[in-house]
Every structure is written in C-alpha cells, then in structure tokens.
Chain A
Amino acid sequence: MNAPLRIGVLKLADSAPVIMAQQKGIFAHHGLETEIIVSPSWANIADGLAWNRLDAAVVFAPLAMMTALGHRGHGAELRPLARISRGGNTIMLRGINPASGVWQAGSHGRNAFDIWRNAIGRKPRIAIVHMYSTHLLILRRFLKMIDVDMENEVTLSVMPPADMIHALAENAIDGGCVGPPWGTEAEQLGLAFQVGGSATVLPGHLEKVLVASRKLLACEQKVSRMSLAVQEALSFCQKPTHHEEITQALAAPITDGGLLLPPASTRTILPGGEARECVTFSEGTLLPSDLDWIISDMTALEWIGEVEQQMLKRWSGPIPAASSPV
C-alpha cells in the first residue's frame, strides 16, 4: 500500500487549484491518493521538499529554485510539474494615498512616494513574505520604476501574510508586498491602500508553480497523472462560474479541507473578479519567458551565478519531461 502524496500549501488564494483538485476528487479521479498539508511558513515548504516531508508543493519559483540549488544548505532534487498562477501580488502602504489609485512610473510615483514618506515620518518599513519570493522581485521592480532605491530608501522585513495585517494595524510596518487575498483584505479593512502590484509591474508574470520532489519524480506514472489532474483543476478554477464554490472551499476550516481565507476579499481576487489585482490560473506548459525574468532578477541580486542560470533554464518545457530532473 502506498502512502498518500503529500502536497504542501500556504494559506493563500493561489493554492485554489490544489485545494479544489482535492475537494472535487480530481486527484482521486486520476488515480492519485493525495493529502494537503497546510504549512505555517515558506521555510517549512522548502525544508519539506528538501527532507522528504513533502512530495509536492505550491510555491513561488524563486524559493523552489534556491532550494533545488542547495542555497538552504542541502541540494534537493526538484522539478516543476505545472504552472499554477500568474499575477495576484499587491503592494500595499498604510496611511493616505497622496495620488489617486496606483502610482505611475517615473516622477509621478517618486513624488507620491516622497509625500507619503514625509507623512509617515520615518524610513519606510516594507514587509515581504519571504526573501526568495516573487514578491521581493516585484517590489524591487516597482521601486525602481518610481526611482526609489530599495537598498537604501526602505527597510525590508519578512513576515507571514496574516501577521502583516496585524503589523499594519499596529504601525509596526508601513507597507508590504503580499499575495492574494491578503492585500485586498488589508484594503477592505481600511488598513492600507494599493500603489501597485503584479499588474502594474509585470502583467501576467509567473507566480506559483507546483513543484515535485525526489520521491514523486521517481514515479513517472504519478508525475504524469498529477500533471493532468492539475491542468484539469486549473481549468476549473479559471472559470468565473465557479467563483462562489471556490470562495466557500477556501474559506472552510483547515479540518474541512479549506484554508480559512476571508471570503469577501477572496471572492474579488479570483479570475475575472472586481479587484484591481486578480489572480489568473494558467493552464499549459511552463514557458521560457515565464522563468527568464526571474532568473535574470535573481542574477542581478547575486543570488545565483552563470552555471546555475543555465540549470534553471531547463525548468521550462513540456511536463512531464522525459529527461531526468535538475
């Protein structure tokens, strides 16, 4: 008898395809016995993949890449099985927006930033959810776009999304770049306003991928079944007619297979929702263009070198790949 495949997720709306595949029996229909593990931190996801506690996980590509390359101290055999989502990240600041709506590139954004910084009266403290996240890359690009130097003009900190809501309310942080639905939730609670995000900086950028670890990768049949199941779940989650069902499923308690997400904000950020920044569940092959910007930004930040760049470029292409994993 086989143990069920353990799939790690965090409490985020872009975990929806895996949650729905589990709840609607899509995994089971494809002959897979699966178990969803809701993790408290990204570090747990990375370590789970590296030390045989997770067979797969929904994770942002930079962390999966850094884990695979051994930058957490132990090289891990990992490979993406599917693209899960595009976009959905929001850059939120507390206080009053000196501009109307999102900030424009160049001097418009720079001016807005200066007025806002003077109003809060200190070097802005901006939170991200993990160092090796798309959120950091998107935030860095956004600040560059409005001529603000991330290294010197803001103080970065790392905290879980749910803590960010609390930290904004307590003025412990002045803003953050965070995944769905937490930015919209902060806005709905009146704690922050949105100045930018995925759609402003890099529309349709690759956000989450489903990554498989060594044990699962060794079984070609399971890899191929899981890839097919996830494609089916992505197609289900992308349909606006399924919004309500997905919202309810994600709002359910963890013991009932949900993620305990706030339903009002979750409803608005699903594909085609009313929020400015919606998530897109994107079927199909992981494209070289999905990874190029991530690899190039990671290189610019000196996280990876030339050889590692070439290794990571092999992550795109048809799934499941016949070749052996990186």
Chain B
Amino acid sequence: MNEEKKSSGTRLRVLVADENPRRGHALSETLHADASLDVLTVPPDKALIDAVRDYGPDVVLVDLDRADRDALDSIRALSCSALERPVALFVDEDDVDLMETAFDTGVCSYNVLEALPRDVKPLLRAAIALYARFRRTRDELTEAQIALAERRLIEQAKRSFMKNEKANEAQAYRWLQRRAMQTSRRIAVVAEEYLAAQKKDEAS
C-alpha cells in the first residue's frame, strides 16, 4: 500500500480538472480554504486518466468541456487500467435538481466508490457556484458586446437616413423609433433592415 496515501488519514484528496486555467485556479483557491481538503490540479499536458492514476484522488471535479473525460468512463470496465481504487461518475438519484444543475453549469464529479455523498455534494455545489459565476461574467460580456453592436447599427442607420432624407438626427431617430413601434420590433432590427435595403438599392 501507498504509505503516503494512508497517512493522509481523513483528509479528502480533491483533483480539479478544468480546461479553463483561470477558473480551475479560482476553484482550487476556494477549496483550499477548507483545511480538511488536499487540493490538486491536472497539469495542462497531462491526460485526465493519468492524473487520476498518479494522484489517487477521492473526488475529481471535471469540466464537461474536457474531451478526455471518456477515459474515466472506462475505469471499471477496463481490467488493465490498474487503478487501486476505481472511480465512477457521482450520481445522486434523489437530488435530480443538483444533478441537472451540475450538467447545465458544465461540471460533474467522479469519486472513488467508497466516497460518501455528504462529502462529495458540498464540493460539487462549490464547483457549480463557481462555474455559474464564470458563465455569468461571460454572458454579461456577450450582452455588452451585443448592446455595443446594436448601438453601432442604429448610429449607422441614422446617418444613412439623415443623408438620404436630408433630415436631422432627431428626425432620423424618431423615424426609426416609429417604424419599430409600428412593426413591433426592436429598433436595432429596424436599423439593420434599413441599412440592408439601402445596400440593395446601391447595388441595383
């Protein structure tokens, strides 16, 4: 037996397998705060299965974007995987919400078979919370980009209208606004259509 593993006693060994280094680092930091945890990460060039074999974790928190997750599915079925303590996908049949939220958020957990749900669930919850926060930041960023692009379209359409109709800026904006209201569409959509129509006219 591996003496080091034995001597670690009741400390839970957690392996963080995240393709996103920034998020992986943040998750490790969060878990480090708990003194009962030994937190390890998968180095960038190491296959997940090799890390699991070498580090012998009790719990593996896995980013669903990792393509090498399939190797973990095989541990029980492949006799030659030579793992002392086989791990399997953590599934809580009684907590469908937690499971669906985990998969929705993009993280799951594999555990050694003897790990207890009460030990695993807080870790999975922590990972879900962190993943959700990262996703929110990304979504906010995307939304900001969309808003910016829309504003640009509206500005462009306004300028085009001013030139074509010899109108001022307020008139141009009112025209777009009215048209948006009449057709119950967003002003950016109307602006885009207006620009497309102008382009067509120029081409013909």
CB-based nearest B residue for A75: B93
Query: A156: CB under 8 A from chain B?
Result: yes
The answer on a CB contact under 8 Å between B77 and A47 is no
Query: A74: CB under 8 A from chain B?
Result: yes
Say which residue of A48, A74, A158 sits within 8 Å of B70 (CB atoms).
Answer: A158
The answer on a CB contact under 8 Å between B79 and A151 is yes
Say which residue of B65, B77, B99 sits within 8 Å of A74 (CB atoms).
Answer: B99
Q: A124-156 toward B: CB 8 Å interface, digit per residue (1/0)?
A: 000001111000000000000000000100011
Query: A121: CB under 8 A from chain B?
Result: no
A41-B99 contact given A73-B89, A130-B74, A131-B78, CB 8 Å threshold? no
Interface pairs (6), CB distance under 8 Å: A40-B66, A48-B103, A53-B104, A130-B70, A158-B78, A159-B68
CB A297 to nearest CB in B, in angstroms, measures 13
How many residues does chain A have at the interface if contact means C-beta atoms less than 8 Å apart? 28
Contacts of A159 in B (CB 8 A): 47, 68, 70-71
The answer on a CB contact under 8 Å between A41 and B66 is yes
Please give 11 more A-B residue pairs, beta carbons under 8 A apart, in addition to A51-B103, A72-B89, A131-B73. Answer: A40-B64, A40-B65, A40-B67, A41-B68, A41-B70, A43-B72, A53-B103, A72-B91, A131-B78, A157-B49, A160-B68
Say which residue of B70, B80, B99 sits within 8 Å of A42 (CB atoms).
Answer: B70
Say which residue of B65, B67, B79, B91 sits within 8 Å of A163 (CB atoms).
Answer: B67
CB-based nearest A residue for B47: A159
Contacts of B66 in A (CB 8 A): 40-41
Q: Which of A42, A130, A156, A158 has the most CB of B within 10 A?
A: A158
The answer on a CB contact under 8 Å between B80 and A160 is no
What are the 7 A-B residue pairs with the smallest beta carbon separation, nearest first?
Answer: A73-B91, A131-B74, A160-B67, A40-B67, A158-B71, A158-B74, A51-B103
Contacts of B72 in A (CB 8 A): 43
Which residues 72-100 of B sit at the A interface, judged by CB distance below 8 A? 72-74, 77-80, 88-91, 93, 99-100
CB B124 to nearest CB in A, in angstroms, measures 13
Say which residue of B67, B80, B99, B104 sits within 8 Å of A155 (CB atoms).
Answer: B80
Query: B23: CB under 8 A from chain A?
Result: no
Contacts of B154 in A (CB 8 A): none
Query: A105: CB under 8 A from chain B?
Result: no
Query: B108: CB under 8 A from chain A?
Result: yes
Query: A223: CB under 8 A from chain B?
Result: no
A47-B108 contact given A73-B88, A162-B67, CB 8 Å threshold? yes
The answer on a CB contact under 8 Å between A303 and B77 is yes
